[in-house]
Structure 1
């Protein structure tokens, strides 16, 4: 008998860039439906993470934006079939996630 249960796997990222990369990896490499993936800040305020990255990072000229909302980490969660649990956890860990939790 196969396990048809669903697991929710949640991971925390320090940048929005890393969270976006994780979402794309889940969709494109693991075939997870985008509708089953959720992204939110781990705090109560708008945030693009806790570390500067992407468009906020220093340019070739050395200029960096200082107005980015860096108040809390970004959480990515995915509702997946139980047999995908290990591959999703591995992907999150490879992409630099912290606090990977399954419920």
Structure 2
């Protein structure tokens, strides 16, 4: 998306679970095309975030897994129409983003 009426909004999440929820919210609730959403680690190594969550968290019957790569936060970026910026920022905040930026 290269025209001037689009923006890329990026958010940082401490867990892969939060990042996945953000992606699904953008697609299902805001109607953003999945091909315009990108997920990557903020570091150079594979990572599931910086905090244990989801399938790695402890359950009633077993301890938390300790084999998840917790080396960097997860970044979710979305190429959106400029007029969607406020609603996307709001969604990222509601879903636990620790940092939000726009380009």
TM-score by length of 1: 0.95
1:57 corresponds to which residue? 57
The alignment yields a C-alpha RMSD, in angstroms, of 0.8
Alignment correspondent of 2:28: 28
Matches within 5 A, 1:1-103: 5-103=5-103
For 2:35 and 2:50, how far apart are their aligned partners in 1? Answer: 26
1:24-73 deviations in whole A, cap 9, x for unaligned? 00000000000000000000000000000001000112411001000000
Separation of aligned partners in 1, 2:14 and 2:70: 9
Larger mean Cα displacement after TM superposition, 54-63 or 66-75: 54-63
Structure 2: tracts of 5 or more residues without a match: none
Deviating above 6 A after TM superposition, structure 1's stretches of 4 or more consecutive aligned residues are none
What's the TM-score once normalised by structure 2's chain length? Answer: 0.95
Residue 86 of structure 1 and its aligned partner are, at CA, apart by: 0.4
Unaligned residue ranges in structure 1 (runs of 5+): none
